[in-house]
Amino acid sequence: MNIGQSFKMAFKSIFTNKVRSILTMLGIIIGVAAVIIMVSIVEGSNKQIRDYYESMGTNKINVYAYKWSGEDVTDELYEYCLSLDELVLGVTPNAYYWGGSIRYKTVSTDKMEYGGPQVYMGSDQFSLCNNFEIEIGRDISYLDVKNYNQVIVLGARLKEFLFPYRDPIGEVVTIGEYPFTVIGVYEAKDPNSTWSMDNMAVVPYTMVRLLNKTNRIEEFVVKARSKKDTTEAITRLTGFLSGLIDENSGYFSVNSQNQWMEQDEKATRIMSLVLGGIAGISLLVGGIGIMNIMLVTVKERTREIGIRKAIGGSRKSIIIQFLIESSVICAIGGILGVTVGYLGTLVAGKLIMDIVLTPSVTMTIGAVAFSVVLGIGFGMYPAIKASGLQPVEALRAE
Amino acid sequence: MKLIELDNIFKIYNEDMENEVRALNGVSLIIDKGEFVAIIGPSGSGKSTLMNIIGCLDLPTYGDYFLNGQLVSDMDDGELSKIRNREVGFIFQSFNLIPALSAYENVELPLIYQGVRGDKREEMVFEALEKLGIEDRAYHRPTEMSGGQQQRVAIARAIVTRAPIILADEPTGALDSKTGETVLEILHGLHREGTTIILITHDSRIASTAERIIRISDGVIVQDCPREEAEL
Ligand SMILES: Nc1ncnc2c1ncn2[C@@H]1O[C@H](COP(=O)(O)OP(=O)(O)OP(=O)(O)O)[C@@H](O)[C@H]1O
Ligand SMILES: [Mg+2]
């Protein structure tokens, strides 16, 4: 029999038993909505984690080393890092100035609401290693480093504070008692939350002698070319450093953000499995509900099935009719579930993460498709049962 | 020409048990194309059982049934449903219309199973409804119609496929005598057009309008003769 007619019949019987159809769908609606909300939250937080690490720079390795004796390993380490050329995009020393405030005329960063800015001392590859982009002016250059130029690049937050609505290029700020000329400003990385990543400035690492009164740099940041190269670079650096420093003579560590990111992602993956499992069970319960109702429907419509058989309905056509009916119920339930899931995701995104979170299109289509599959799966037994009825006996039913 | 041939048909329920019932106990019968046969007999004698077997709604326990020379017990579900769809039109005492569907949709159903295209279907449905004079009730549901009207819808459904055999199991049983007369007239009309009619009835007046009368008792044929020779 014609499939269009089966659909017509399915809609007819769904709409003649509205309340029952809705109750039947409820399980599917809740199940689909639950899946969508939970997966969206997990995906959303995964994305947040990824974005967070990406803004700090992926494939980034932090190398930290010093000797108890105070003996300097800076040059050897820097050279070794540079020698990892085929694995590495960039290397920068990563020293900090602990002195505190930066001053521009009468404005001092002592008064900033989120504490003093972080002043880094890095190479011309600092921005590459730490994912900063120049917004105005220029970045620190190799010559700045080599020639001990007293120049500074400001983070977006620091620029906002010191030079609100003004072009800072060429202005002179003071760190401690030393003047530095502003040559550039980085793009904001983190404008909506705390600005903490943008409350910073960078000067050439050769300033370490001037500002920290030492030549020693204990920390380097290495930017590897890929995830794979990160692992390889970590292995080599660890090997190199263990040859240079042992437990008794000092301390070193080689870490990458990737490790933390993977750990965080793993945690959310486990959460998604647990939540997905719960949602899956509720879908299963919904499916069993469908089967239950379809069995009742078959029983109630035994006589109708008998009539259909008496006038020429084959087993196949009866099976198709009931399968279409159960999958239409499930599809409608799935669509309603997606609607509820969308709203729920929006609300949950707002409440939990304070972002506009929407389910992915793939998942939405997948959820509806899955409900149809569920309808066919759980409708199969009732449909086969209906089709197997003997015409005479079915006709005798009341 | 042999249309229907029953050869020693048995229908036995609960065989070899204490509550065994032999609804048909060795029935042999030949019905030719174009006959008008009335089947009579007391209640419980096996009339409906016989008719259900003829219409392929039921299968015999023993014995061979040939329809158009083909052995029915050899057929699979697809072939059986095709016969029910194309070869026979069933008219039941209790109408057996689908309550959720309108008169039109009920009559349309056999054509849908047959795979007739939409516009052709509409034409055939209205032709059948008009033949029975109930086209004005086309979009009413069975519950909104009188018994006589419902039976006419049921007849329209039986004839809409232009099946060569009409099986009517007490088609007038639930109707008053005047409506019953109309239904009988319709059956005679179909017979004149060449349809083979097999009619079960309790009413000897109705039976006496048939060409041939078969009397059943306790699952066996006790009389099978032309109307003129029959004792009613
Ligand atoms: N499923 C069944 N199980 C057991 N016995 C049955 C079954 N169906 C029918 N019978 C029996 O078979 C016999 C014949 O039934 P059938 O319906 O053919 O009678 P009938 O001649 O049509 O009677 P009526 O005139 O009352 O309609 C009856 O005795 C009935 O009880
Ligand atoms: Mg009967």
B24 lines ligand 1 (CB under 6 A): no
Higher-pLDDT residue of A230 and B25 is B25
Contact B197, B33 (CB under 8 A): no
Name, in order, each residue with C-beta under 8 angstroms of B184's C-beta and a sequence gap of 6 or more: B172, B206, B209
**CA-closest candidate to residue A27, choices A383, A333, A378:** A333
Tell how far the Cα of B70 is from the centroid of ligand 1, in angstroms: 26
List pLDDT tens digits, range B146-185. 988 999 999 999 999 999 999 999 998 888 888 888 889 9
B46 lines ligand 1 (CB under 6 A): yes
CA-CA-CA-CA torsion sign (A24, A26, A32, A38) = negative
3-state secondary structure of B196: strand
Probe site for chain B from A21, A311, A325, A398 (most B CB atoms < 10 A) = A311
In a domain? residue A58: no
Question: What pLDDT, on a 0 to 100 scale, did the predictor assign at position A193?
Answer: 60
Domain co-membership, A213 together with A296: no
In a domain? residue A306: yes
Name, in order, each residue with C-beta under 8 angstroms of B131's C-beta and a sequence gap of 6 or more: B156, B159, B186
pTM recorded for the entire structure: 0.73
Q: Which of B14, B48, B58, B61 to mutate to test the pocket of ligand 1 (most atoms within 8 A of CB)?
A: B48
Beta strand extents in chain B (DSSP E only): 2-13, 21-32, 36-40, 62-67, 70-71, 88-91, 165-169, 196-200, 212-217, 220-226
List pLDDT tens digits, range A336-373. 999 999 999 999 888 887 788 888 888 889 888 988 99
- A204 inside 8 A of chain B by CB: no
Higher-pLDDT residue of A7 and B60 is B60
List pLDDT tens digits, range B95-130. 999 998 999 999 999 999 998 988 999 999 999 999
Domain co-membership, A206 together with A272: no
Contact B26, B39 (CB under 8 A): no
- A3 inside 8 A of chain B by CB: no
Domain co-membership, A357 together with A230: no
In a domain? residue A249: no
In a domain? residue A61: no
**CA-closest candidate to residue A160, choices A133, A131, A187:** A187
Domain boundary among A210, A244, A278: A244
Question: Please, what's the b/e burial string for B192-226 (b: 16 or more CB within 10 A of its CB; e: otherwise)?
Answer: eeebbbbbbbebeebbebbebbbbbeebbbeebee
Domain co-membership, A285 together with A230: no
ipTM of the complex: 0.94
Domain co-membership, A377 together with A271: yes
Atom of ligand 1 nearest to the CA of B93: 27
Probe site for chain A from B84, B139, B150 (most A CB atoms < 10 A) = B84
Domain co-membership, A223 together with A270: no
Question: What pLDDT, on a 0 to 100 scale, did the predictor assign at position B130?
Answer: 93
Domains and CATH numbers, chain B: 2-229 (3.40.50.300)
Q: Which ligand is nearest to the CA of B12?
A: 1
Which B residues, 20 through 59, put their C-beta within 8 Å of a C-beta on chain A? 52, 55, 57-58
Domain co-membership, A281 together with A372: yes
Domain co-membership, A83 together with A204: yes
In this complex, which of B55, B113, B157 lies closest to A317 when CB atoms are compared?
Answer: B113
| Residue B87: φ, ψ to 5° | -95, -35
Name, in order, each residue with C-beta under 8 angstroms of A64's C-beta and a sequence gap of 6 or more: A218, A219, A220, A251, A252, A253, A254, A255
| Residue A138: φ, ψ to 5° | -135, 170
Confidence bin at B48 (pLDDT 50/70/90): very high
In a domain? residue A68: no
**CA-closest candidate to residue A206, choices A323, A296, A121, A136:** A121
Tell how far the Cα of B201 is from the centroid of ligand 2, in angstroms: 9
Total domains present in chain A:
2
Domain co-membership, A211 together with A307: no
Q: Which domain holds residue A201?
A: 74-244
Chain A residues touching residue B157 (CB < 8 angstroms): 311
Q: pLDDT 10s per residue in chain A (398 long)? A: 567 778 887 888 788 878 888 888 888 898 889 888 888 888 888 888 777 777 777 788 888 888 887 777 777 878 887 888 888 888 888 888 877 688 888 777 777 766 778 889 999 989 988 889 899 999 999 999 899 999 999 998 888 888 888 899 999 999 888 999 999 999 988 766 666 778 889 999 998 888 888 888 888 888 888 888 888 888 888 888 888 888 788 888 888 877 777 787 788 888 878 887 887 788 888 888 889 888 988 898 899 999 999 999 999 999 998 999 889 989 999 999 999 999 999 998 888 877 888 888 888 898 889 889 989 999 999 999 999 988 999 998 87
Domain co-membership, A89 together with A238: yes
Query: Which residue minimizes the CA distance to atom 30 of ligand 1?
Result: B44
Domain co-membership, A237 together with A268: no
CB atoms within 10 A of CB A33: 24
- Written as one letter, the residue type at B124 is M
- Written as one letter, the residue type at A296 is V
Domain co-membership, A37 together with A107: no
In a domain? residue A60: no
Name, in order, each residue with C-beta under 8 angstroms of A290's C-beta and a sequence gap of 6 or more: A24, A27, A28, A326, A329, A330, A374, A375, A378, A379
Q: How far is A3 from chain B (nearest CA, A)?
A: 10
Contact B209, B221 (CB under 8 A): no
B19 lines ligand 1 (CB under 6 A): no
Question: What pLDDT, on a 0 to 100 scale, did the predictor assign at position B87?
Answer: 95
In a domain? residue A257: no
Across the interface, whether the CB atoms of A310 and B84 are under 8 A apart is answered: yes
Section B204-225 average pLDDT:
94
